[in-house]
Amino acid sequence: RLQRENAAPATAVLKVQTMTVRLVAILFVIMLLPLPAKADDLDKSGYTLFDPTPDDLLRKFAPDRPTKGFSVRTIDAGHFEIETDLANYTISNSNGSTAHSFQTLDPTLKLGLTNWMDFEVQFNGLQYAESFDGASPFNFLNATGFGDVFLRTKINVFGNDSGPIGFALIPYVKLPSSSSPLISNGAVEGGLIAPLALRPDDFIVTLMTEVDDLKSATGNDRYANFVNLVSVSHAVPGLD
């Protein structure tokens, strides 16, 4: 039994390492592909946090909300952006247990460092969570508190301003809050997100892969979590 328990974390670490190698290999192959760029694209590589990009050269506004994926575009150098939800309400049901959660005051702050990289801080805001088991009215738990904090760096590899394709790497780390276990698991976690954006005509098709190093629900073991997402978006006519 001891051998099985020790083997599980090692297997999880191996899976994370394998996925990381695959992401790097995919990135290398994509970088070798000939990608056409618009002739009127201007060189903005010289702008930095302390020498901001002029307002007339700013790229398209591309927030990560409200979709579940991430944009490949970074914030222009020397510029600041804030994204936030007014409120979120979620209901989930699993194995007879029902959970309700309400969240507000959850801004994401973004700061452009270079023409290809920004730094982001996401606060998971004020939360109220409750959980109860339908089989027994006594199995009721609730808590109120502030959620975890996420630190991310978005690194655009190509396709930041224009072009038919864009790719970015987003390493992140999660810092736990001191809230109830209903709100935070109290563990430092992290991962790597890799969104790929295809831009046929006026559409944006996002293909995103994510690998996370997470703490198990029981005990202190770690496991690898994999997320794959596909989203299609289009601007509302007349509002682009």
**Cross-sheet strand order for the sheet of 136-146:** 88-94, 97-104, 126-133, 136-146
- pLDDT for 112 equals 97
CA dihedral sign of residues 41, 47, 48, 54: negative
- pLDDT for 25 equals 61
Average pLDDT, the chain: 83
Element (DSSP H or E) covering residue 209? strand 203-215
**106, 206 Cβ separation under 8 angstroms:** no
- pLDDT for 76 equals 97
Helix (H, G, I), strand (E, B) or coil at 8: helix
Residue type, 11: T
Other Cβ atoms less than 10 A from the Cβ of 99: the count is 15
- pLDDT for 60 equals 85
Q: Mark residue 105 as left, alpha or beta (left: phi above 0; alpha: psi -120 to 50; beta: remaining).
A: left
Helix (H, G, I), strand (E, B) or coil at 229: strand
Residue type, 104: T
Closest by CA position to 188, among listed 143, 153, 151, 142: 151
**206, 228 Cβ separation under 8 angstroms:** no
Helix (H, G, I), strand (E, B) or coil at 232: strand
- pLDDT for 1 equals 41
Contacts of 237 (CB under 8 A, 6+ apart): none
Q: What is the pTM of this model?
A: 0.80
Which residue stretches of the chain are H helix? 2-32
- Which residue shows structure tokens 């992401």? 23
- pLDDT for 20 equals 58
- pLDDT for 26 equals 57
> In the chain, which residues have pLDDT < 50?
1-8, 34-39
